[in-house]
C-alpha cells in the first residue's frame, strides 16, 4: 500500500519528516560521493539526501555497478587520493583517529595525505554488500573504518546489525572528522538527523508498516 502525500523537492521526504528548514550549508574540503543501490527506497528514514542538501558538493550516484571510479564520477581522478568508507576490518591494536581508522588499500595504517574524496555505499546492509562486490575497483581505494563513540541516532526506529554500522549521514560525518575536517560539520549533520528522527517519532511513523509516501501529481485540466 502506498501512502500518497506531498514530498519536499529538495530532500524527497514527506513534509513532516523534512529538515531542510534547519540546514546550514557545509563546505568540507573532502569530496563526498554516495553510491546508492537502485532499490534503496526508504523515503522517510534515508539520510543520503540530507547529506547532499547540507553539502552542495556531495553527490549521489544511483546504480549497481560501474567499470571504475572514473566511470562512476564521469570524470578522471587520481584513485590513489580516494578512500572508501565501509565496514573494513581494522588492524589489531589500531588506535582510531577521532572515531575513524584510516588505512591504505591493503588495510594497513597510513599517514598519507588526506584523500581528495570519499566513497560511501547507501542502502540496506545487504544492498551495500551487493554494491561492494559488484564494484571490485573499490578494493583499489584507500580504506576508512568507523569506530563510533555513541549509539546510532536511529535508536529503535531502525536496528543496525552491529555497533559500527551507522547511517550514511553518520558515516559521512565520522569519516570527515577522522580526516581532519572541522568537527562542526559532523555535529551539524548529526543535529539534522536527530531532528528528522524526532519529527518522524512525533508524527507517529512506524517503520514496520509497509507504506511508502509518494508525491501527489497535479490533475490534468
Cα atoms in the Cβ-side hemisphere of radius 13 Å centred on 146: 26
All residue ranges of the chain with pLDDT < 70 are: 1-5, 158-164, 210-221
Q: Residue 2: what pLDDT?
A: 43
pLDDT of residue 44: 85
pLDDT value, residue 164: 56
With residues binned 3-state (H G I as helix, E B as strand, rest as coil), the percentages for the chain, rounded to 5, are 30, 20, 50
Hey, is 2 helix, strand or coil?
Answer: strand
Question: Nearest to residue 88, comparing CAs of 110, 71, 103?
Answer: 103
Q: Give the per-residue pLDDT at 216.
A: 45
Task: Give residue for cell 519536499.
Answer: 8
pLDDT confidence of residue 217:
43
C-alpha angle 159-165-167 in degrees, rounded to nearest 5: 80
User: What does the pLDDT read at residue 50?
Assistant: 96
Q: What is the pLDDT of residue 98?
A: 81
pLDDT tens-digit readout, 43-74? 788 999 999 999 999 999 999 999 999 999 99
Long-range pairs for 124-127 at CB < 8 Å and ≥24 separation?
124/37, 124/40, 125/160, 125/161, 125/165, 127/37, 127/39, 127/40
Positive or negative: CA dihedral 122, 88, 155, 157: positive
pTM: 0.89
pLDDT at 149: 82
Amino acid at each position: 500500500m502506498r501512502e500518497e502525500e506531498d514530498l519536499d523537492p529538495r530532500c524527497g521526504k514527506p513534509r513532516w519528516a523534512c529538515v531542510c528548514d534547519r540546514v546550514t550549508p557545509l563546505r568540507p574540503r573532502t569530496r563526498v560521493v554516495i553510491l546508492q543501490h537502485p532499490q534503496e527506497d526508504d523515503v522517510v528514514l534515508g539520510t543520503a539526501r540530507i547529506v547532499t542538501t547540507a553539502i552542495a558538493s556531495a553527490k549521489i550516484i544511483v546504480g549497481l555497478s560501474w567499470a571504475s571510479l572514473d566511470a562512476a564520477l564521469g570524470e578522471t581522478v587520481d584513485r590513489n587520493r580516494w578512500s572508501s568508507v565501509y565496514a573494513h576490518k581494522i588492524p589489531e591494536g589500531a588506535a582510531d583517529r577521532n572515531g575513524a581508522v584510516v588505512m591504505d588499500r591493503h588495510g594497513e595504517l597510513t599517514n598519507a595525505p588526506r584523500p581528495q574524496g570519499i566513497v560511501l555505499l547507501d542502502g540496506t546492509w545487504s544492498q551495500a554488500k551487493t554494491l561492494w562486490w559488484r564494484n571490485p575497483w573499490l578494493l583499489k581505494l584507500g580504506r576508512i573504518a568507523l569506530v563510533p563513540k555513541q549509539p546510532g541516532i536511529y535508536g529503535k526506529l531502525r536496528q543496525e546489525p552491529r555497533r559500527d554500522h551507522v547511517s550514511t549521514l553518520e558515516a559521512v560525518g565520522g569519516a570527515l572528522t577522522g580526516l581532519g575536517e572541522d568537527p562542526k560539520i559532523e555535529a551539524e549533520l548529526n543535529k539534522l538527523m536527530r531532528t528528522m528522527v524526532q519529527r518522524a517519532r512525533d508524527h507517529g511513523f512506524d517503520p514496520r508498516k509497509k507504506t511508502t509516501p509518494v508525491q501527489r501529481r497535479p490533475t490534468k485540466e
